[in-house]
Amino acid sequence: MTIARLCDASLVTARPGVGRPRYDRAATRIGIVHFGPGAFHRVHQAWYVDRLLVRDPRWAICAVSLQSPAAREALAPQDFLYTVAELGPDVRLSILGSLRELWIGPRDRDAILARLASPDVSLVTLTVTEKGYCLGAQGFLDERHPAIAHDLAHPREPVSALGWLAHGLSERRTRGLAPFAVLSCDNLPDNGPTLRRALMHLASRLDAGLARWIEQEVAFPRTMVDSITPATDDRLRAHVAARIGLEDAWPVQREAFTQWVIEDLPAVRAADWASVGVTLARDVTVYDRAKLRLVNGAHSTLAYLGLLRGRETVAEAMQDVPLATFVERMMREDIAPTLASSAGRDASRGLDVSAYIETVLARFSNPAMRHLLTQIAWDGSKKLPVRLIGTIEDRLREHGPLERLVVPLAAWMHFIARQAQAGATIIDPDAERLAATGRGCTGHARADIERFLALGTVISPALAAHEPFKRVLERAYARLAAADRLGRIEGE
């Protein structure tokens, strides 16, 4: 039987028990431009904004997809309404209305610039993933990146998120408007200052006056975001349609747990974020470091080791007792001691690290979550430096053991080699070089590792030159190679 498509007109027919916007969408104003309207943004920031609009209509969202038209094609016929499924003991469904527009970078330039230059817009947010910032191995803007090279040559026709930020801020400066604040909501260490540094670099190459204005006027608050978000599949679409009684072309799902921490700066106080559950903090370091290392680092570990051991999802990997035990020991004994800032002060102040780890392990074990390990394994060359390499470098400085910490790095190398030699797709910004490296691997630890070190990306040259690190990495790689597809960990 054919059912109606979700949209403004059909919303009133959604079945009882399904959440829906508790405000007049037509009365809202667009106050946020967001780059990267993927699943995470729509289950996370847009979810908070949906709650905020109940009491303050100034914060509806204009989303911008830098390249892909897929989200617009799915959501435009639905008036940009969509369903969020919260996966707990009971699945809770809510239809969100905070997204009002969705434009595509290459074909909607005038509409995007008009929003960026609108006096109503005071906040621009980003979830473009680590690779979307076009950074080099050391975390600085890579001028050789094709998107950045294009934007330097054609600044009024940007293709990168940074190019759009520079273009929009330049237009506001020309019109005498106050700048918007810029919030990176991606898993970058110190994400606000990192984005600021990269944008300043780009702006300085385009217009020295613009660079000075950005330096003096634009706020880049640090943020931390957290909620595990499995990819949408046909099973979710069918479940949502049956529950709400309407067809939704692109529902999204997440665990029940969600957290958003924003650095408490004047630029973000125009909205009452605390009233909808956002944490405003003077120091985001504690949240940021704990999340990147204990959540994301452990996630990547489960992904690469779990795939080697024939597991498919995070929950399934957590049922593999040796693997789950290994990950918990790594979190408690190897990662937790590194939760201190580079300045040496206690960055874990106010955080019960043991309780935090317990919560993370429980989240990973959630049987309602079908979070594919392959999804987490994507883009490893950009994820691993911020999720694991920093922890390894800290442990080296403290003369701590590395035996467990290098195992996920060795597992990633095996994952790349197996994908390449099987002719399978490698989803990574550096896929071509990784595939060539993987095809050359023979299973000989020292030779294979030297191939990966020669890439100069995931592992910095300084770390690659550290002989004790290389030797322990070789031993871990050799143990995994000897175990073939079962993937041996520690002394199992």
- Residues 29-84: tens digit of each pLDDT: 999 999 999 999 999 999 999 999 999 999 999 999 999 999 999 999 999 999 99
Q: Please report which confidence band the pLDDT of residue 340 belongs to, taking 50, 70 and 90 as the band edges.
A: low
**What pLDDT is stored for residue 2 in this prediction?**
83
Cα–Cα distance between 275 and 57 in angstroms, integer?
14
Name the amino acid, one letter, at 157: E
Q: Is the dihedral of CA 472, 361, 49, 261 positive or negative?
A: negative
Mean pLDDT lowest among 46-50, 103-107, 135-139, 325-329 = 135-139
β-sheet with 252-255: strand ranges across: 91-96, 82-87, 252-255
Name the amino acid, one letter, at 348: S
Q: Is residue 412 part of a domain?
A: yes
Mean pLDDT lowest among 17-26, 27-36, 281-290, 442-451 = 281-290
Choose the most confident range, by mean pLDDT, from 43-47, 382-386, 484-488. Answer: 43-47
Judge whether residue 491 has pLDDT over 80: no
Report the CATH number at residue 101.
Answer: 3.40.50.720
Q: If we measure between CA atoms, which residue out of 304, 287, 307, 399 comes closest to residue 349?
A: 287
Name the amino acid, one letter, at 251: P
Q: Are residues 335 and 377 in the same domain?
A: yes
**What pLDDT is stored for residue 482 in this prediction?**
82
Q: Are residues 336 and 475 in the same domain?
A: yes
**What pLDDT is stored for residue 286 in this prediction?**
87
Domain termination site, one of 281, 310, 326:
281
Q: Please report which confidence band the pLDDT of residue 184 belongs to, taking 50, 70 and 90 as the band edges.
A: very high
Cα–Cα distance between 10 and 233 in angstroms, integer?
23
Q: Is residue 6 part of a domain?
A: no
Q: Is residue 491 part of a domain?
A: no
Judge whether residue 112 has pLDDT over 90: yes
Judge whether residue 484 has pLDDT over 60: no
Q: Is residue 369 part of a domain?
A: yes
Question: Pairing state of beta strands 223-226 and 259-263?
Answer: antiparallel
Domain termination site, one of 237, 254, 281:
281
Q: Are residues 34 and 165 in the same domain?
A: yes
Read off the DSSP letter of residue 78: G
Judge whether residue 249 has pLDDT over 90: yes
**What pLDDT is stored for residue 139 in this prediction?**
84
Alpha helices in 176-259 (DSSP H): 191-206, 208-217, 234-244
Q: Are residues 26 and 137 in the same domain?
A: yes
490 pairs with which residues across the strands?
none
Q: Are residues 328 and 474 in the same domain?
A: yes
**3-class SS of residue 386:** helix
Encode pLDDT of 237-246 as tens digits: 999 999 999 9
**What pLDDT is stored for residue 449 in this prediction?**
96
For 106, other C-beta atoms within 10 Å of its C-beta total 12
Judge whether residue 486 has pLDDT over 50: no
Domain count of the chain? 2
Q: Are residues 269 and 306 in the same domain?
A: no
Proportion of the chain above pLDDT 90, given as a percent:
89
What share of residues in the chain are helix, strand, coil (percent, to 5)?
50, 10, 35
* C-beta separation of 349 from 316 below 8 A: no
Using N-to-C axis directions, what is the helix angle for 406-421 and 467-482, rounded to 10°?
50
Q: Are residues 99 and 176 in the same domain?
A: yes
Q: Are residues 193 and 264 in the same domain?
A: yes
Cα–Cα distance between 35 and 180 in angstroms, integer?
14
Judge whether residue 344 has pLDDT over 50: no
Give the domain range for residue 325: 285-486
Q: Is residue 2 part of a domain?
A: no
Cα–Cα distance between 374 and 419 in angstroms, integer?
11
Cα–Cα distance between 112 and 109 in angstroms, integer?
5
**What pTM did the predictor assign?**
0.88
Encode pLDDT of 148-171 as tens digits: 999 999 999 999 999 999 999 999
Q: Which residues contact 102 (CB under 8 A, 6 or more apart)?
A: 37, 62, 63, 64, 65, 71, 72, 75, 76, 80
Q: Is residue 1 part of a domain?
A: no
Q: Is residue 5 part of a domain?
A: no
Q: Are residues 356 and 472 in the same domain?
A: yes
Range 388-393 average pLDDT: 94
Proportion of the chain above pLDDT 70, given as a percent:
96
Q: Are residues 400 and 273 in the same domain?
A: no
Report the CATH number at residue 395.
Answer: 1.10.1040.10
CA dihedral 245, 246, 248, 249 (to 10 degrees): 120
Cα–Cα distance between 400 and 392 in angstroms, integer?
9
Q: If we measure between CA atoms, which residue out of 120, 117, 146 comes closest to residue 131?
A: 146
Judge whether residue 343 has pLDDT over 60: no
For 314, other C-beta atoms within 10 Å of its C-beta total 25
Cα–Cα distance between 13 and 11 in angstroms, integer?
5
* C-beta separation of 364 from 257 below 8 A: no
Q: Are residues 93 and 108 in the same domain?
A: yes
Domain termination site, one of 281, 298, 316:
281
| Cα 285 to Cα 152, 191, 423, 439, distances in angstroms | 33, 10, 41, 40
Q: Which residues contact 58 (CB under 8 A, 6 or more apart)?
A: 28, 29, 31, 120, 271
Judge whether residue 28 has pLDDT over 80: yes
Q: Are residues 210 and 290 in the same domain?
A: no
Q: Please report which confidence band the pLDDT of residue 488 belongs to, taking 50, 70 and 90 as the band edges.
A: low
CA dihedral 236, 239, 244, 248 (to 10 degrees): 40
Judge whether residue 189 has pLDDT over 50: yes
Mean pLDDT lowest among 99-108, 341-350, 479-488 = 341-350
Cα–Cα distance between 389 and 373 in angstroms, integer?
20
Give me the residue label for tokens 């990950």.
327
**How far from chain centre, in Å, is Cα 93?**
23
Q: Is the dihedral of CA 139, 142, 147, 153 positive or negative?
A: positive
**What pLDDT is stored for residue 1 in this prediction?**
65
Name the amino acid, one letter, at 336: A
Q: Is residue 204 part of a domain?
A: yes
